[in-house]
Amino acid sequence: MKRRTQSLAAVPAAAVLSLGLAACGGDNQAAAEGEGGVSGEVVVDGSSTVQPLTAAAGELFGEEQPGVNVSVATSGTGGGFEKFCQDQTDISDASRPIAEDEAQMCEQNGVEYTELIVANDGLSLVVSKENDFAECLTVEQLQKMWAPESEGKVDNWNQIDPSFPDAPLELYGPGTDSGTFDYFTEAVNGEEGASRSDYNASEDDNVIVQGVSGSPNAVGYFGYSYLEENSDALKPVSVDGGDGCVEPSPETVGEGSYQPLGRPIFIYVKNSAYADKSHVSAFVDYYIENVDSIAETAGFIALNDEQKSTNEEALSKLG
Amino acid sequence: MTSIGDLAGKPLRAERHGDRSFTSVAFLAALWFTVAFAVLCLAVLLVDAFLDGAVRLDARLFTEYTSQVLPERAGARAAILGSAWVIAVTAALAIPLGVAAGVYLEEFADGNRWYNRLIEVNITNLAAVPAIVYGMLTAGFALSIGLERRVVLAGGIALALLILPVIIIATREAVRAVPVEIRQGSLALGATPLQTVWRQTLPSAVPGIATGSILALSRAFGEAAPLLLLGGLVFVNYDPDGLMSGFTTLPIQIFSWASQPQLAFQQVASAAIILMLVLLLVMNALAILIRNRYQKRW
Amino acid sequence: MSSTAAHGGPSLETGPHRGTPKKSEPDLGAALKRRRGRYGERAALLGLGGAAAVSVLVTIGIIVSLLMPALDFFREVSLWRFLTGTRWAPTFSNADYGVLPLISGTLWTTFIGLLIAIPFGLGAAVYLSEYAHQRVRKILKPVLEILAGIPSVVYGYFALYFVAPVVLNDLLSVEVGTFSVLAAGLVLGIMIIPTVASLSEDAMSAVPQALRHGSFALGANKMRTTVRVVFPAAISGITASIVLALSRAVGETMIVALAAGTRAQVVTGPTENGQTMTGFIAQTATGESTPGTLTYNTLFAVGLLLFAITLVINLFAGVIVRRIREVY
């Protein structure tokens, strides 16, 4: 019986040990009040595209103000707005501007908000490094590739451009319920949601990376950060939006020459949270002040001057 | 000549009963194959995860919070503690409720009444409802009672609702397996029905209930979708400090890391997977000790 | 009435009895209820009954929270169009709302999953219960249970990054694309093996030794005893485990969302990709649609349909289980 109790004791000990390793060895949260520090929790929810930006901002801000906890969830842009307009979050991450019915819901619940731009993103078309023919595509060619009418009909590269080889067209793209899809379809096909449905759709952009890098005939599209991280396996396709072939890069997207696939990324701040909670206002101020370095850390593209002055205006109204 | 008394309790070996025919051997081989397949799958999974994640199996995995600025430094501390909190709430809610319901349905309910049959069908049906629906249900429920959706308590409720049917079913099967002689003997000795259940039937059914609870809590431990819906965090840099605290869990964190482009995140995700498996082992070991102590062969 | 166990062993007439008694014997359930018991026993009983009632409340809650938005959906899309249409494209500009593609996706993944889980699960259960040494059993059973605990996201990535490219394409030369119902179904089956194995094994272990001894005494060998005596004796528990596995397969979300594909089309072969009902629900619930819109309400319509389908399966299975349950 003694042996059994000994072995019985070993297991809970192991469990406690692993929990203990986690619980100790970190710093104390209760710091930073006094000496002009602020403390509190900033509750953020919304798009998973924007999450890395707000997370980076929260982390960098936390180094200056350890008493402030920025916690970020990813219920999606729509889900984030639902919670935001029900007064449950302080900030909403959004990869698209707020929709009309969402704005109405906020108004009904008395939630006033301010829209701020936090980064630019260039939706990039990518092919594998082994693809040597698809260097530049016009918007018309992109339409032929992705339009709803092309479903079942356009399945070969030489249909996109006669100079391309006779090779099957393998398409990869984001899932149909994502901001990236919404923006791309509107920019290329003229209407949100207008796309052929016979392509490899994935919610996880890493799957697109894997699919495209594995085949010389594959082409896909996603946000710029995925191109940047996988530049050894993929290369971008330049897009001709009417003014010549433009390759996606921080410069071209930032200055607005990468058309039509450059998009702004937003956060929406609850006015009452900004006014009443000093940790929220401190965080938002920090976010906007350091928006360039935050964007770079998270793999996005910095704002141009026009966007920055729009932000300043919006912030000043918040007081 | 061995007597019945000798045979009782000993494992029955093939040799004793003339099992050398081809079909018997083939049968046994087929059984070995099925077990080997399952073990092989597990081994492959573990090796796969280990190869990817071994590089990040270090103390920082336990002690650091997640990091966007420096993915190489990211750790699962908040996720480990969050998972612990949420599973504790889940167990505290689901196990008593599930065992009570299972005992009632099996011992006290008249199986022929229409409403008890309805409950029976109901429960097996609930076991099939996708986890995310429980997230939606809890969200609606929380909204109606004014509870914040993003807190530990709400997450615990969602997971408890998820595993409740499994625990009820397992309890019922376990209680059903207890021979009726045990109950009759207890009643004959003058015990009340409740005393019979509490002191005879239930302890005899503990192994089966433990099995069901292990499977159920393991499943709850691995769920991400309903918690994401409720507002489980993917970036958090503090320890959960109560039932009303925001939280993240290991599956949520793994899911979030795996979908980011940086290689360092893929690696820490694999390391966190290994960590999850180790913690699962610990949970299982604990429950098995309980089960083995009480296991009976009738 | 069976004689009392005067010799300390089971009564020779009728053998050990399992579980709830047959109709021909005095109804213990009613007898239990008639006894008054100690103070507070009524209250305790009510408490237990209340716990069971919670499950009903949960169901009502689910139905209500699914029904309201689903009704909004059906105001705009007719039930007929929903149930018989073969194109499911709610987020596209040329939207369509026929749910058959999703049903076909679920059917294929569930079928393949059960094809794996039932034979391997039952095989493992029989081995553990009848053939394995106690020491081996103590190790193997936990190993199986670990399979159940692996998070479904891990399984999903396993299917996507390992099973599809390495096992299917390279090792077995089955041509599958990035996504396929085969890869998802296989891994789904692996995840469910422990459900079938553990509960079936518990059921078989609970079959009294006397039955096995009787069979051996009559000259049957181990295999015969297992297949002809133990297995049928435990059929109630085994069927329950299979029904649970079926329910689990139909309701599983992450594996199919990651590995089966997100393109809703009517699936005609295992190597094709397709979207399941649960995969669609997961995608829409955490996606960019605005709650309250028609696109978002598709989520509730599909959820309600899923609920109804599993209800029918379980009703059917309940009838079967009751027919074949053996009581000693």
pLDDT of residue C1: 33
Beta carbons of A102 and C263 less than 8 Å apart: no
The interface pTM score, or ipTM, of the predicted complex is: 0.78
Domains A16-120+264-316 and A124-260 share a fold: yes
Closest to B265 (Cα-Cα) out of B71, B126, B88, B87: B71
Interface test with C, best of A177, A184, A191, A210 (most C CBs within 10 A): A177
pLDDT of residue C96: 84
The pLDDT-based confidence of A26 (bands split at 50, 70, 90) is: very low
Q: Which fold has domain A124-260?
A: D-Maltodextrin-Binding Protein; domain 2 (3.40.190)
- Contacting residues of A for C160, CB less than 8 Å apart: 207
pLDDT tens digits along B131-140: 888 888 888 8
Three-class secondary structure of residue C92 per DSSP: coil
Would C73 be classed as within a structural domain?
A: no
Whether the CB-CB separation of C4 and C11 falls below 8 Å is answered with yes
Beta carbons of B133 and C62 less than 8 Å apart: yes
Enter the DSSP assignment of B128: T
Q: Where are the domains of chain A?
A: 16-120+264-316, 124-260
pLDDT of residue C327: 53
Q: How far is CA B287 from the centre of its chain?
A: 10
Nearest 5°: the CA angle A15, A16, A19 is 90
- Contacting residues of C for A102, CB less than 8 Å apart: 290
| Chain B residue with minimum CA distance to C142 | B284
Residue B97 tokens read as 């409720």
Beta carbons of B131 and C251 less than 8 Å apart: yes
- Contacting residues of C for B200, CB less than 8 Å apart: none
Map tokens 């990651």 to a residue.
C258
Would C105 be classed as within a structural domain?
A: yes
Closest to C170 (Cα-Cα) out of C189, C157, C183, C181: C183
pLDDT greater than 60 at residue C67: yes
pLDDT of residue C289: 72
| B153 vs B287 pLDDT, higher one | B153
The pLDDT-based confidence of C39 (bands split at 50, 70, 90) is: low
Beta carbons of C262 and A202 less than 8 Å apart: yes
| Chain A residue with minimum CA distance to B78 | A22
For chain C, the domain total comes to: 1
Beta carbons of B261 and A55 less than 8 Å apart: no
Q: What's the length of chain B? A: 298
Q: Is A167 exposed, middle or buried (0-12, 13-18, 19+ CB in 10 A)?
A: middle
Residue B42 tokens read as 């597990």
Report, as an integer, the average pLDDT of C307-314: 83
Beta carbons of A203 and C93 less than 8 Å apart: no
Beta carbons of B164 and C146 less than 8 Å apart: no
List Cα–Cα distances, C299 to B133, C187, C302, in angstroms.
10, 25, 5
Residue A203 has its nearest CB partner, among C262, C289, C290, at C262
Enter the DSSP assignment of C3: P
pLDDT of residue A180: 87
- The span from the CA of C317 to the CA of C26, in Å, is 28
Would C273 be classed as within a structural domain?
A: yes
List Cα–Cα distances, B39 to B30, B117, B124, C64, in angstroms.
14, 38, 28, 42
List Cα–Cα distances, B152 to A11, A67, A178, C214, in angstroms.
26, 21, 28, 54
Q: Which of the other chains make 3 or more beta carbon contacts under 8 angstroms with chain C? A: A, B
Domain that holds residue C100: 96-324
Interface of A with C in 5-64 (CB under 8 A): 47
pLDDT of residue A3: 45
Return the CATH number at C221: 1.10.3720.10
Which of the given ranges, A85-94, A186-195, C166-175, C253-262, has the highest pLDDT on average? A85-94
Closest to B12 (Cα-Cα) out of C238, C227, C216: C216
pLDDT greater than 60 at residue A20: no
Beta carbons of B38 and C52 less than 8 Å apart: no
Would C159 be classed as within a structural domain?
A: yes
Q: Tell whether A197 lies on the interface with C, counting CB pairs under 8 A.
A: yes
pLDDT tens digits along B155-205: 999 999 999 988 998 898 889 888 888 889 998 998 888 888 888 888 888
Interface test with B, best of C57, C109, C127 (most B CBs within 10 A): C127
How far off is chain C from A174, nearest CA to CA, in Å? 10
Q: Tell whether C237 lies on the interface with B, counting CB pairs under 8 A.
A: yes
- Which CATH superfamily does the domain covering A16-120+264-316 fall into? Periplasmic binding protein-like II (3.40.190.10)
Beta carbons of C287 and A197 less than 8 Å apart: no
- Contacting residues of B for A26, CB less than 8 Å apart: 63-65, 77, 239
pLDDT tens digits along B237-252: 888 888 898 899 999 9
| Chain B residue with minimum CA distance to A21 | B62
For chain C, how far is it from start to end, CA to CA, in angstroms? 14
pLDDT tens digits along B30-68: 888 888 888 888 888 888 888 888 888 888 888 888 888
How far off is chain B from C142, nearest CA to CA, in Å? 7
How far off is chain A from B13, nearest CA to CA, in Å? 28
pLDDT tens digits along C50-65: 888 887 888 888 888 8
Q: Tell whether C218 lies on the interface with B, counting CB pairs under 8 A.
A: no
Q: Which domains does chain B have, with CATH numbers?
A: 59-294 (1.10.3720.10)
Q: What is the mean pLDDT of chain C?
A: 81
* Pairing state between β A91-94 and A40-46: parallel
pLDDT greater than 80 at residue A61: yes
pLDDT greater than 90 at residue C102: yes
Beta carbons of C131 and B31 less than 8 Å apart: yes
- A156: which strand partners? A168
pLDDT of residue C23: 47
- A235: which strand partners? A127
Would C132 be classed as within a structural domain?
A: yes
Would C301 be classed as within a structural domain?
A: yes
Beta carbons of B104 and C45 less than 8 Å apart: yes
C117 contact partners, CB below 8 Å, separation of at least 6? C188, C189, C190, C192, C193, C195, C196, C245, C249
Interface of C with A in 285-304 (CB under 8 A): 285-293, 296
User: What stretch of H or E contains B209?
Assistant: helix B202-221
Would C172 be classed as within a structural domain?
A: yes
Q: What is the mean pLDDT of chain B?
A: 84
Would C284 be classed as within a structural domain?
A: yes
Three-class secondary structure of residue B178 per DSSP: coil
Contacts made by residues A305-311, CB under 8 angstroms, sequence distance 24+: A307/A117, A307/A120, A307/A264, A310/A117, A311/A116, A311/A117
